[in-house]
């Protein structure tokens, strides 16, 4: 019987049109699934949309739609996009589907009945965007969310809690006894230290909004969006339904289950999800692969920054295969990668146009020119044998490496190993100068052997490119008349195909791109004028001059600044405010380097109650404001002001 392989992407929030970030995860999963199919696995690939929660409710409102209309629209766009990208998912789950909702209702009730969920009260600062509560020590700059930097709201609500603390030891033991549970290793260490720092019970219901799955026994509560979302991995398999055959096959009796997630949502998958499964008495069958992000030169992609890039435009102009290749090739496994228009064009020109595309067209034209398109495998001895043997060795080694790396999910490295073989094959042409061999009748046999080696190597390369270049590989097999049984992984050996009869003329696989002008085209998409009007925060209710007098704003001079040791977003500064030198922590690290700050005259709220931010005392707040593009600027005072000058 075939081994099974079940792979999932996160289910994406349909808050806005998907950019290349979501496409990255989905293409990664699709390519791995295609690879596993070639290896003979029985595969199942799930993706979908996470359609509940306050964020969606608010996005719908902003677009003048009901939440259902909004998610129907965006989820439809997502499904169209995956079709355009040739994603071969077996199922697409939407959390607003009945098949999912009824099971989540039931899961919640069972956890409640087992006392793994209990009713309590939560008081804390809530970030709508991240749908999470934060403790005062986690907040930055007073009330800002430590994850996204947006202001939080102080909320007090009755809520259900999931007993995370009860399962902490069992989870640590599980991670310890399953060394492959989380990849890469560094992410696993983060998770372990997070658990060891102490798990608080998790608030798993909300009453402040209604767009969600209602708690059956207490419908004024809706189920927390992450409990709802994480369940998709089993509800989509028919868990707890009339027909649970897929659940039995791919989860309970399955051989491999992989959840692929971005590093941003690792904690939910590595802690909450396994604990839910333990509490439900379901085996933890999955392994987690956490990948890095596609970043832009100015940080994360954001519509408001005008730096978003969408897959559709790239596919329409440069082709499907170029996009699918680039997107999984550019990011080293686990790391972040930078998207730049120049790199996009260069990557296509180098790997696909120059190396692979040229190899195929040069070889086909030589085989036609020297042998009328037909070449046999020949066994003989000649002076060029060592070059051919070396190519065979490189091929064997590259195939092995490619498979090992693909199995470890190191897709970019696997493609790099394949590039080595492409390079070595091109080098055989340089080493042997076929045009010289062709001049002489005696070197006719060696020439045929060289041509055969080129063709056989192209066949192997093309077999291995199949999970990535879905339009090109069938074309190349067609040009070379490769029979179907010589396109699978069983045929991955040099010398398997005996004869070649190639087409008389082959169109170029990838047209060469003009680097400067094409980079400019992509840049113009990224800087599309923003259609939305900049939003102005509403003016707060009136205050009196006495209210204002309570806020003591002073000018201060920044004497020193360093990066906060435990928080990427924070700088820790020493600021002279006349009365003393204060320690001030500020969430500006994304916009200002420590050295940018030293010497600046800033405005400080000097009588704000000191707080500790990620362990560092902050004795005041520096004034700053965001522009319409979401960039943050500190409000600078005149350098002529002495430290301590009162602002009034």
Residues that bind ligand ME8 (CB under 6 A): 10-13, 21-22, 24-25, 50, 229-230, 232, 261-262, 264-265, 293-294, 301
Residue nearer to ligand ME8 on the CB measure, 27 or 573:
27
- Judged by beta carbon, residue 194 or residue 489, the one nearer ligand ME8 is 194
In Å, what is the CA distance from 615 to each residue of 36, 457, 566, 570, 622? 47, 59, 8, 12, 18
Residue (265 or 641) nearer to ligand ME8, CB: 265
Residue 630, token pair as written in the block: 């979401």
CB of 100 to ligand ME8, least distance (A): 12
Task: For residue 158, report the phi and psi dihedrals to the nearest 5 degrees.
Answer: -70, 135
Which of these, 556, 568, 562, lies nearest to 620 by C-alpha position? 556
Q: What whole-number distance in Å separates Cα of residue 300 and Cα of residue 386?
A: 50
Q: Nearer Cβ to ligand ME8, position 308 or 422?
A: 308
The enclosing H or E element of 344 equals helix 341-347
How far apart (Å, rounded) are the C-alpha atoms in residues 467 and 473? Answer: 9
The three-point CA angle 195-198-200 to 5° equals 105
CB of 50 to ligand ME8, least distance (A): 3
Q: Are 110 and 280 in contact (CB under 8 A)?
A: yes
User: Nearest distance from residue 308's CB to ligand ME8, in Å?
Assistant: 10
Which residues, in sequence order, are bridge partners of residue 605? 553, 621
CB of residue 69 vs ligand ME8: minimum separation in angstroms?
A: 19
* Minimum CB distance to ligand ME8 smaller for 236 or for 391: 236
User: In angstroms, what is the minimal distance from the CB of 230 to ligand ME8?
Assistant: 5
| CB of 21 or CB of 254, closer to ligand ME8 | 21
CB of 473 to ligand ME8, least distance (A): 26
Pick between residue 22 and residue 152 the one whose CB is nearest to ligand ME8: 22
Work out the angle between the directed axes of helices 411-432 and 444-465 (0-180°, nearest 10): 170
Q: Output the smallest distance, CB 38 to ligand ME8, in A.
A: 24
Cβ neighbours, 10 Å, residue 385: 12
What tokens does 189 get? 């260490």
| Cα gap 624→590, rounded to integer Å | 13
Return the number of the residue (343 or 355) whose C-beta is nearest ligand ME8. Answer: 343
Q: In this chain, which residue has its C-beta nearest to ligand ME8?
A: 21
Interacting residues of 48 by C-beta distance below 8 A, sequence separation 6+: 11, 12, 91, 92, 93, 94, 95, 232, 236
Q: How far is the CB of 68 from ligand ME8 (least distance, A)?
A: 17
């Amino acid at each position: 019987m075939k081994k099974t392989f079940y792979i999932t992407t996160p289910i994406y929030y349909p808050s806005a049109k998907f950019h290349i970030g979501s496409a990255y995860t989905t293409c990664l999963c699709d390519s791995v699934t295609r690879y596993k199919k070639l290896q003979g696995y029985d595969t199942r690939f799930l993706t979908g949309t996470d359609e509940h929660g306050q964020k969606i409710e608010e996005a719908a409102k902003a677009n003048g739609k009901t939440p259902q209309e909004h998610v129907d629209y965006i989820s439809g766009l997502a499904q169209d996009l995956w079709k355009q990208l040739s994603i071969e998912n077996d199922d697409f789950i939407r959390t607003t589907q009945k098949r999912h909702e009824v099971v989540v209702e039931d899961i919640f009730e069972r956890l409640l009945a087992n006392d793994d969920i209990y009713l309590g009260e939560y008081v804390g600062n809530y970030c709508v965007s991240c749908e999470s509560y934060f403790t005062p020590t986690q907040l930055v700059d007073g009330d800002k969310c430590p994850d996204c930097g947006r202001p939080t709201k102080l909320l007090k609500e009755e809520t259900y809690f999931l007993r995370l603390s009860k399962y902490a030891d069992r989870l640590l033991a599980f991670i310890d006894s399953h060394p492959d549970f989380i990849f890469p290793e560094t992410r696993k260490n983060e998770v372990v230290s997070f658990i060891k720092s102490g798990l608080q019970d998790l608030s798993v219901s909300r009453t402040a909004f209604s767009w969600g799955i209602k708690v059956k026994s207490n419908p004024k509560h809706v189920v927390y969006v992450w409990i709802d979302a994480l369940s998709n991995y089993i509800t989509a398999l028919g868990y707890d339904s009339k027909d649970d055959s897929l659940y039995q096959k791919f989860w309970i009796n399955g051989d491999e289950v992989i959840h692929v997630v971005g590093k941003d949502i690792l904690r939910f998958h590595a802690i909450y999800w396994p604990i839910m499964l333990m509490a439900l008495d379901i085996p933890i069958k999955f392994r987690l692969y956490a990948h890095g992000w596609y970043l832009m030169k100015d940080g994360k992609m954001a519509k408001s920054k005008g730096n978003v890039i969408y897959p559709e435009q790239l596919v329409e102009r440069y082709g499907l295969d170029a996009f699918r290749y680039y997107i999984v090739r550019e990011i080293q496994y686990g790391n972040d990668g930078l998207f730049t228009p120049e790199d996009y064009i260069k990557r296509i020109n180098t790997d696909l146009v120059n190396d692979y595309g040229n190899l195929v067209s040069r070889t086909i034209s030589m085989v036609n020119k020297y042998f009328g398109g037909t070449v046999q495998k020949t066994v003989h001895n000649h002076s060029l044998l060592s070059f051919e043997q070396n190519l065979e060795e490189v091929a064997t080694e590259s195939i092995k490496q490619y498979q090992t790396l693909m199995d470890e999910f190191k897709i970019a490295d696997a493609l790099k190993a394949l590039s080595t073989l492409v390079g070595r094959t091109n080098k055989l042409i340089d080493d042997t100068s076929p045009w010289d061999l062709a001049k002489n009748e005696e070197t006719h046999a060696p020439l045929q052997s060289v041509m055969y080696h080129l063709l056989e190597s192209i066949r192997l390369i093309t077999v291995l490119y199949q999970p990535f270049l879905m339009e090109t590989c069938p074309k190349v097999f067609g040009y070379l008349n490769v029979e179907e049984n010589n396109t699978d992984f069983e045929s991955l050996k040099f010398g398997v195909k005996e004869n070649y009869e190639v087409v008389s003329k082959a169109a170029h696989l990838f047209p060469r791109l003009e680097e400067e002008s094409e980079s400019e085209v992509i840049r113009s998409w990224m800087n599309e004028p923003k259609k939305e009007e900049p939003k102005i925060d509403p003016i707060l209710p009136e205050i009196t001059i006495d209210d204002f007098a309570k806020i003591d704003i002073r000018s201060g001079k920044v004497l020193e600044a360093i990066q906060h040791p435990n928080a990427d977003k924070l700088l820790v500064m020493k600021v002279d405010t006349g009365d003393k030198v204060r320690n001030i922590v500020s969430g500006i690290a994304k916009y200002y380097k420590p050295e940018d700050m030293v010497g600046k005259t800033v405005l400080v709220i000097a009588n704000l109650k000191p707080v500790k931010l990620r362990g560092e005392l902050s004795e005041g707040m520096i004034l700053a404001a965001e522009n319409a593009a979401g960039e943050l600027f500190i409000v600078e005072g005149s350098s002529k002001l002495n430290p301590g000058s009162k602002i009034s």
